[in-house]
Amino acid sequence: MKNYLGRLGLPRKAETQVVEAALERALGGAHDTRNLNDAKAVLSDSLTRTYYERTHLQYDAICAALSCLDSPEAQNTHRWKERLVQFDPADNEPLT
Amino acid sequence: MTEESYLNHKLTKTMVLPLAAICAGFVLTIVLFFATTGSAIADAYSELSATDKAYIDTQCLPIQYKEGAAAFRQCVIEQTESLSAVQNSAQTSLSFDEQFAVQQFCQSVGNPGSEAHENCANDQINSLQVVPDTDFSQVADDEIYALQQGCYSIQTRAGVRAYRECVNTALGALAEIPRPDLSTLSLLDKNALQLRCSALHDEAASYRSCLLEAMDGAVAPTTAAGSDDVVDDTAALDTASGATETAPLTNAEAAVSTSPLPDTTATEIASPEPVEVPTSAVEPVTNAAPDTDEPTSLPIEQPLPENTIASSEPDDTVIDQLIPVADSQAVTLESSTDTDNVVEGSDAGSILDKARNAGSSMWAQLQASAASLSNMGKLIMLAALALPLCLVGFWLLMRGRQTETPYEPAPYPNPLIDRVGPSQQRRERDVDYDSMASGLDTPDYAEQVDELFAQDNSTRLVKPDVAPVPTTVRHQAVTKAPDRGRISSWLVEQEPAQQLSLAIEFMIYWTAYADERYEPGLRQTIFALKDPDQHELIKRWVLKQDTQAFAEITSWLQSRTTADQREQILNLLMALLVNENAMTPAQNTLLRFLGDAFGAGNEKLDALYREAFGHPMPELPRTDKPLWWQQQAADDLKRWDARTVSRQSNDLQYRVRLGLPLTEALEEQQILTHFQRAVDRCNPQKLDLLTHRERMLVDRQLEKFEQAKNGLMEAFV
């Protein structure tokens, strides 16, 4: 799961116009625009943005609960740590 | 008026009204008798513990499912009777916690009431002969709570002997640590410190060490148990009134004042609520004699009977101390003049002692009788007692007025009409499983908001006050947890029997609200509440999208439930919140994480899902990928939005509820197949390790599936 909003330096509930402006700015100076194009496709459509945001919330929650996977009884069949790498503030590189 | 009519009038005044009073009392007593007898089974059921009720549900819900309501009722009656019989056995000599340990241990060997279960219970009780009784007399209530928490896992798994040994061992460890002196702290600071230590330490000894460390090792003077609480609360009161403003700042105060504020919304910052006061810290100490030297320093929330207040006069205090505790209740019922007579002469004293004993015995019997009645029974009994008194009073009033104006019927305004009027307009608040269920699957948002607006907000918008506040306001602060801070700390302060249900409730709301299954206005309403109950607090945490709260609840469930229970929680979430062919990306992500955190893993979760819905669980969604979106069917997207679905025709709602195609013509068998899968998801046997509340929620869900099936089948009738 890619944390588009975090990498644009925006909160999960950022206004559509703010997101669009940030995307335009990022697209202007990017060499590899694949991620940015994906981000634009998902975040520009209200339906996909809605469900992206809701999934984003669950990833934020899972990030907070990640230590639960350290329990001996827990499993990690979805390699959550790797999926959450972009939700870790320390690892949040700009989206370019 | 003629002489005859005057006599008739007088006869009416003097005879009829007292007779009416006596008759009314007699009739009401008979009604009371039949009401209490008729509801004996219901009373017996209501008096059972949550564990016993859960057990009865486990036994009887499958019968209801297969054989109908009559068989279910018969099953409940039989199980209640057998459980009541068991409860009348030697178990009653144990403490509540030890009875719970016996029940937990023996529930696996047979049904309560069966020979195997009874033998197990007897063995358990006999095993206690070699273990000394637990003595809590030197331990404060908050420490008792810590002791019980520390031994909880043993209590639920290892039997009563192991539990008592665990408690005794913990008591021994506790005795080696001096009791901290919290008297320099204000009530709020003391409770904040206790909360903090309670959240950090599971063991009583480490809990006390935490308190001691925070107090810089200040040790309380050696006093009878519970008296330190009294002193502490007195100090707290003094502090509240500004008497101890010059008290030195201890580590504890510094710790409390510098502890980081949790994330709060602007609304909450603008309207801070009082710090949570743990219930255990203010419950009356039952093992200790009351401190008659400082009668006014009893914990604020301890119910103070009027007679106790009356006996707090300094002159009576010495006398009260001479009277055994068991008799004090009866003594305090008497007037101070009678009490003075106790010390005047031995003969008079012995007569008074006898009278006191008789009175004490009668009072105890009356209390026992009252305690055995249901709420309705108590209401009827109060009415039966009050009505004759009211009528006699009315008659005396009439008589008095008759002396003044014997022939003129005086106009008597009825003040009750004015008083009853407003209260009739007030609606009761009841955030129970019914309203919760109605807000989950069928998003009847108007009803959900209605339920919240039904409160009397004028009483709930009480501005919290740091200065001395009335007892009632303090009581609210005790019983209502704050909406901020760690949910795990709040959860452990709730009744142990409710904790699992509340943790599951959080998960239910988290899953439901993840897809914004709530009316937008609900958020504002919930955050405006000044006196939220448990359910509203949980909603608040969820609506705040408090991911830390989610993490804490996940961790709590992970550590406090068995693998089978966690599997059943996954089943519950699927039964309540996931419709066939309509699993949203948020639900999918969440369930897959919980599956891992709960130890089920991908394979087991897929098996549970396949069993529930008849097809494999969709892959982990990638809502960040445009390609993934292209692969989603347009029909599925329509099903995801519960709020939009709730505004469609009944036919469409029913189709979504059962996971049927949205547009094409349906076949009878198709509907029945989908319905059967929904029924199987709601099978109570899949939830038999959870609480009564979850099973009732699923019952409600089953009704909704039935409604959908019946609605769709009408086309074939």
What are B219's strand-pairing partners? Answer: B180
How far does CA B374 lie from the centroid of its chain?
17
Intra-chain end-to-end CA distance of chain B, in Å: 76
pLDDT of residue B703 exceeding 70, the answer is yes
Percent of chain B's residues with pLDDT above 70: 58
Kindly determine whether residue B593 and residue A78, on different chains, have CB atoms separated by under 8 Å. yes
Q: DSSP state, B222?
A: P
> Considering CB atoms only, which of B551, B559, B601 is closest to A77?
B601
Predicted pLDDT at B219: 75
CA proximity to B541, closest of A64, A40, A76: A64
Q: What is the per-residue pLDDT for B214?
A: 82
**Which residues of chain A lie closer than 8 angstroms to B589, CB-CB?**
55, 58-59, 62
Average pLDDT, chain B: 68
Give the pLDDT confidence score for residue B336 in this predicted structure. 34
Tell me, what's the pLDDT at B552? 95
**Considering CB atoms only, which of B516, B548, B563 is closest to A73?**
B563
Q: Please tell me the least confidently modeled range out of B8-12, B521-525, B639-643.
A: B8-12
Say what the pLDDT of residue B381 is. Answer: 75
CB atoms A54 and B515 under 8 Å: yes
Least confident of B68-82, B108-122, B370-384: B370-384
Query: Which range (B56-60, B218-222, B406-410, B583-587) has the least confidence?
Result: B406-410
Take residue A33 and report the two structure tokens written for it: 């625009």
Contacts of B575 (CB under 8 A, 6+ apart): B612, B681, B682, B686, B687, B698, B701
- Distances B462 to B14, B384, B451 between C-alpha atoms, Å: 51, 37, 20
Separation of alpha carbons B178 and A1, rounded Å:
53
- Residue B224 is given by DSSP the state -
Q: How far apart are CA B289 and CA B283, in angstroms?
A: 14
Q: Is A68 close to B558, i.e. CB distance below 8 A?
A: yes
A33-42, B60-69, B369-378, B605-614: the lowest-pLDDT one: B369-378
Of B19 and B99, which is predicted with more confidence?
B99
Say what the pLDDT of residue B371 is.
66
Q: What are the structure tokens assigned to B686, written together?
A: 């899949």
Q: Is A69 on the interface with B (CB under 8 A)?
A: yes
Length of chain B: 717
Of residues A28 and B445, more confidence is placed in A28
CA distance B73 to B56: 11
Residue B446 has pLDDT above 90, yes or no: no
- List of residues 6+ apart from B708 with CB closer than 8 A: B653, B654, B655, B657, B658, B675
Kindly indicate the confidence band of residue B19, based on its pLDDT and cuts at 50, 70 and 90.
low
* Residue of higher predicted confidence among B292 and A84: A84
Contacts of A75 in chain B (CB under 8 A): 595-596, 599-602
Contacts of B703 (CB under 8 A, 6+ apart): none
Closest B-chain CA to A76: B596
Backbone dihedral angles phi then psi of residue B546, each to the nearest 5 degrees: -80, 95
Contact B47, B80 (CB under 8 A): no
pLDDT higher at B618 or B196: B618
| pLDDT surpassing 80 at residue B522 | yes
Residue A80 tokens read as: 């959550």
Give tens-digit pLDDT for B235-250: 333 333 333 333 333 3
Asked if B680 and B555 touch (Cβ cutoff 8 Å), the reply is no
Rounded to an integer, what distance in angstroms lies between the CA atom of residue B260 and that of residue A22? 33
What is Dmax (Cα atoms) for chain B?
A: 105
Segment of B99-113, B204-218, B474-488 carrying the highest mean pLDDT: B204-218
Task: Kindly state whether A63 is in contact with chain B, defined as any CB-CB distance less than 8 angstroms.
Answer: yes
Q: For residue A6, which residues of chain B lie inside 8 Å, CB to CB?
A: none
Q: Judge whether B163 and B252 are in contact, CB under 8 Å.
A: no
**What was the ipTM of the complex prediction?**
0.94
Rg (CA), chain B: 31
pLDDT at residue A77, as a whole number: 93
How far apart are alpha carbons B343 and B327 in whole angstroms?
A: 16
The answer, yes or no, to whether residue A85 has pLDDT greater than 90, is no
- Of all helices (H) and strands (E), which one includes residue B193? helix B187-200
Q: How near does any CA of chain A get to the CA of B533, in Å?
A: 24
What's the pLDDT tens digit per position in B163-188? Answer: 888 988 888 888 888 888 887 777 76
Given a contact cutoff of 8 angstroms between Cβ atoms, the answer to whether B416 and B490 are in contact is no
Contact flag A64-B547 (C-beta cutoff 8 Å): yes
Find the CB nearest B599 among A38, A67, A73: A73
pLDDT in tens, B291-345: 333 333 333 333 333 333 333 333 333 323 333 333 333 323 233 333 333 333 4
**Six-digit token string for B681:** 């998801």
Contact B597 A71 (CB under 8 A): yes
